[in-house]
Amino acid sequence: MNLRSWRPAFLASLVFAGLLLSPLTGQEQPGGAAKFQGEEVSVGYVLVPVIVRKASGGYANNLGQKDFRLLVDGRPVAMDSFEKRAEAPTSVIFLQDLSGSMGTGGKLEMSREAVRYFLGRAQAGDEFALGTFAGGDRTVEVRFTPDVATVRKAIAGWQAYGTTALQDAVAWVPDISQAGHNPKRFVILITDGIDNASSLTAAEAREVVRRAQLPVYVLGLGSGSPFAVTPEGKKIFRYADVLNLLAYETGGRYYPLSDENDLKQALTAIADDLRHEYVLGFATGGGSSRYRELTVEVEGRNRSVLFRKGYQGPPPSGFLMGGSRQGGWR
């Protein structure tokens, strides 16, 4: 393995280890507020997964580093790593809502179908973890394993009960991620979006996940479109905006589902995304740790670009001339 291919993977492991909150100390985590630790986060390397779709359909699969422009807070950054991760093994976290509202309308069976879909497409090196939440409890039912049979057995016993602390569960995901072995990681959140028991706000939960560099793909069972409004201009679906924003800011996608056809289309789209991924990387330098906005631009027209929208940490160690903002990093 040459240095260029080794460095991003190794540094990614360091990044994940440095960003995570408290480690898992047991199989179950009690309910209650997640705590923010280490407000001044030291991040030595930032990875930016990118997916590029063509307007005509399909993916732009033959791009090189020269085709990308990466900006932090509006200024172009010097990338020092570039990877195509079409076949790289993944660490997948399933975060399943088991609260009482999920026991209606066939939601749990649709949830099982979603998990089985990804298990059935596992490739060499892939691993899976399963976390569930309901009634104030958060449980790691399956720690990271390549054994899909273990996960299949766990989902067969799901039963819905209790209240929903959705945002507390979202903020808990980085704890589960800590045990993953692959730099390429993502989360599949399956929920109907109802939240009636969280101690954290949606913004606080997003911040925790964003710091951990975890893309979140949300399957919203009956949660509706964030763009649906009444003739008077009022939002129709109460929780859709929160779910959509979580996915958007972390570099994932939100899929509102109403039936089996919606589910099949969403699962196919997510699987395609994750097998057609570029990863841009850059080192950080000295300076204060704060939230910094990320922008990815791609050469050519009629392309849509999916990427995480920011990171918490120090500024880049290097940037290119000709940025849109003047002055030094701070």
Tell me the pLDDT tens digit for each residue of 130-145: 999 999 899 999 999 9
**What does the pLDDT read at residue 210?**
84
CA nearest neighbour of 180 among 244, 109, 88, 255: 88
Low-confidence ranges of the chain (pLDDT < 70): 1-43, 321-330
**What does the pLDDT read at residue 29?**
38
- Asked: is 91-274 a CATH 3.40.50.150 domain? The reply is no
**What does the pLDDT read at residue 287?**
86
CA nearest neighbour of 273 among 47, 13, 60, 94: 60
**What does the pLDDT read at residue 286?**
83
**What does the pLDDT read at residue 33?**
34
| Phi, psi dihedral angles at 34 (to 5 degrees) | -75, 145
**What does the pLDDT read at residue 112?**
98
**What does the pLDDT read at residue 248?**
93
Q: What's the chain's average pLDDT?
A: 84
Note the pTM of the prediction, 2 decimals: 0.76
Q: Which residue has the tokens 């990338």?
A: 79
**What does the pLDDT read at residue 141?**
97
Enumerate the CATH 3.40.50.410 domain ranges in the chain, comma separated. 91-274
Rg (CA), the chain: 19
**What does the pLDDT read at residue 182?**
87
**What does the pLDDT read at residue 239?**
93
Element holding 216 (H helix, E strand): strand 216-221
- Which CA distances in Å does 315 have to 77, 191, 311? 10, 35, 10
